[in-house]
Structure 1
């Protein structure tokens, strides 16, 4: 059993929620992990035949039916790297049990993923080792495939005579492209399904279009939330084993295959894997939820959830977090509502933006009013202009910005309130909005443990380009984009205390 993670902070935005969620279990939490396991078992009278909400699934391929002659089903694990509390895994096992064939789980280790470094890869790979062990205990084969999915997954499917492929969902362009590439290489009689195991309300069911902001998507999610916010049945010991033992996974070779920056140190404040993530969830609800609503905008307080590493890699599910927070709502109703707003509405809004807007990481992807305003002020005189290298090395005149940058580089995280200030100052200090957005996204993806995530792209786009926001008082450089400054931060929290903490920190 892993050690409980240390109490630390996690980034979230400061909005509130009036969203009401019915409690799935009103009892006070006792032994946390045992209680979670008990709830899963309590949910399904017959695991093989539980009613799966088909709206969680969409078919990618032309083939709809599994061929009669097949030797297995594959779950291509990607965004959601956990065994339990995983609708994609449950759908794949349900399919395999009905076909009376083995279930295989494949994960494709690609040499490079956007600007991710060994910091993110290290956390991911350690979590996947826990997945491998848990699946072994359930008689489900785990296959670590080294290479891009289009090159290794169709070959695996053909060699093992697989009858159906299931994968999870991400709205990011690169992952959508990988899904389409695999679909084009599959045998024509193998059906390929995608399950949104990351969002509570599947992205395509929450809304059929790009939403303007939280106020427009909130009622749509609220309307159908009770349909999807259900307890998970368990993934069970699989009844049908492969005829031959799978080859051992070559973890060292997988790490050696990486072509990423290995100079960025791995984090030590969060332990990878589902078990550690569930402990972190329990720690937040027991020890910090009570102060979350009041203190979460103060970077000097340890009031934040600290959960985004496990959410980002899918090592724990947001749905499990929302089910678990219900008993705490009696004591800390406002804090619980604020947590629900951030975890459900804001996260699913981010997926909506990236899913329906192919330019989610470009100035061209923002609203017309913001594009016009930024263009009008693109040539405005900047009091300070810094290079990418100066910014990366925290060499600006602003000690608060430098401290925030140091926090992200050294710890792999930045407090949510400061992340907004940090990105807006990059807009103020670089030669163009396009350059500012490029730098903010690069730093976030390189250093944040939860980088390369829809929430990260939306955070940068909100700060620099005004998405999910409105026009504000016009001013130089920013135009009508919401403005933040040093004096405003000093009114919010003790800036000097935060600066002292990171001023002498080495990285």
Structure 2
């Protein structure tokens, strides 16, 4: 089945080489074998050209905040992909960069593959280092490079405007989503597929780049020799990869979804789906999440309500399912809308609305009740037990409870010298430790602290001005925190 044109675009003007030996899928963001539009398109092109299909999944060293935590999670995903592709109509080639000083990197590896490829297909990922990486390699490739959007249920490039509040994006989603629910990716793009087998990889590849030894890399000390940050420890309780994501997702569907509306904002029971790390690294698809939660209630299109932008009443489902769909289809896709339309400012203070910039400027000289440096914050060394617990959760588990992440950011803003410094600290701490950091949705959360996607609030307060005000005392009154605080008390 062909993918929609709205999900596909070419980034160079090179031709397809019909005499090439194979079609190459450069898997960089949608790192999964299922519900993957890019893999689906690559399979279709291989069938049309009657060529073998090669999947190249590289992991580079040269990215900011590279650490054992992220490398281990990604390599576990590679191990899961290797098992999923075993014996199927594809040649899978995992590569883990080991030394940027003496060996050519993954971009040179891609160029070597492309020398004998018909065309290259990759993931459309408008965030972190991906856009710059794609621009750089597109010039070097001798064949067409096409990107496929597997990120969002409604194609992220479909909207012709930037949405500045959730209500307006939600109305856009309500008006358009039914069309795209009928154009979901194939659950298994390789099911029943027969393609020619690639007998030998290009010598230009095998002579210079070794296939990753995933077993060795995942053994104790396997990452030790890589020049990455070894101080950010692996999260032993969270395994990366599509298989692990599926197990956790099945558990949530069976045990957590029914109470999602009641439990997700309570740290003591932590009723969130915990899918954000897997979504960020592409180990599971938002399309599958939406499909599965709707199927859990035997949903039918006739249940849809009016597209008026409200966060309840549109889907005709339980409040739990309604709330979950709003997180996936409104809040998550809102971040991609900003990222794809404003690549130069979606991840910085320039994305703030004018009222927020004005408020920040008006209170810039207000005296802060406390001032903390980055090291004090990183070590959870503040006077506030609730904030310290949230920071310890982030460091230890690679995630933070959603409500407490908002409080965490608000207090960093209150305890630092300026909005610029507070954003710098939030970005660093979040992206260094959070497994879902560096994502458009993650930046939405950080910048929401400073007014993005929010509105002006009154009365005006010192430091906060018109920004939404939050305190640990109000969190203690609103939330069940006893077990949470005991767990992360230090």
Q: Hey, what does 1:169 align to over in structure 2? A: 124
Q: Hey, what does 1:150 align to over in structure 2? A: 107
**Pairing 1:184–2:139 present:** yes
**Pairing 1:337–2:322 present:** yes
Question: How many equivalent pairs are there?
Answer: 448
RMSD after superposition = 2.0
Instruction: Return the offset for 1:285.
Output: 1.2
Q: Hey, what does 1:56 align to over in structure 2? A: 7
**Pairing 1:364–2:350 present:** yes
Within-5 A mapping of 1:173-252: 173-187=128-142, 190-205=143-158, 207-229=159-181, 230-233=183-186, 234-236=188-190, 237-244=193-200, 249-251=211-213, 252=216
Q: Which runs of 4+ in 1 moved over 6 A?
A: none
Cα distance in 2, alignment partners of residues 210 and 390 from structure 1: 37
1:149–1:182 Cα contact (<8 Å) kept:
no
TM-score (norm 2): 0.87
2:257–2:320 Cα contact (<8 Å) kept:
yes
What runs of 5+ residues in structure 2 fail to find an aligned partner?
Answer: 98-103, 300-316
Instruction: Return the offset for 1:293.
Output: 0.5
1:362–1:434 Cα contact (<8 Å) kept:
no
Within-5 A mapping of 1:97-496: 97-145=47-95, 146=97, 148-158=105-115, 161-187=116-142, 190-205=143-158, 207-229=159-181, 230-233=183-186, 234-236=188-190, 237-244=193-200, 249-251=211-213, 252=216, 255=223, 258-329=226-297, 333-357=318-342, 358-463=344-449, 465-473=450-458, 474-496=460-482
2:2–2:41 Cα contact (<8 Å) kept:
no
Look up the SS of the partner of 2:331 in the other structure.
Answer: helix
2:30–2:36 Cα contact (<8 Å) kept:
yes
2:185–2:287 Cα contact (<8 Å) kept:
no
Instruction: Return the offset for 1:458.
Output: 1.0
Look up the SS of the partner of 1:204 in the other structure.
Answer: coil
1:116–1:452 Cα contact (<8 Å) kept:
no
Look up the SS of the partner of 1:347 in the other structure.
Answer: helix
Instruction: Return the offset for 1:371.
Output: 1.1
Look up the SS of the partner of 1:137 in the other structure.
Answer: coil
Which has more helix, going by share of residues? Answer: 1
Cα distance in 1, alignment partners of residues 105 and 280 from structure 2: 20
1:441–1:456 Cα contact (<8 Å) kept:
no
Cα distance in 1, alignment partners of residues 482 and 293 from structure 2: 34
Cα distance in 1, alignment partners of residues 160 and 56 from structure 2: 30
2:78–2:94 Cα contact (<8 Å) kept:
no
Cα distance in 1, alignment partners of residues 138 and 295 from structure 2: 43
TM-score (norm 1): 0.84
Distance 1:257 1:196, change over 3 A: farther
Q: Hey, what does 1:27 align to over in structure 2? A: none
Instruction: Return the offset for 1:143.
Output: 2.0
What runs of 5+ residues in structure 1 fail to find an aligned partner?
Answer: 1-49
Cα distance in 2, alignment partners of residues 260 and 213 from structure 1: 38
Instruction: Return the offset for 1:241.
Output: 1.0
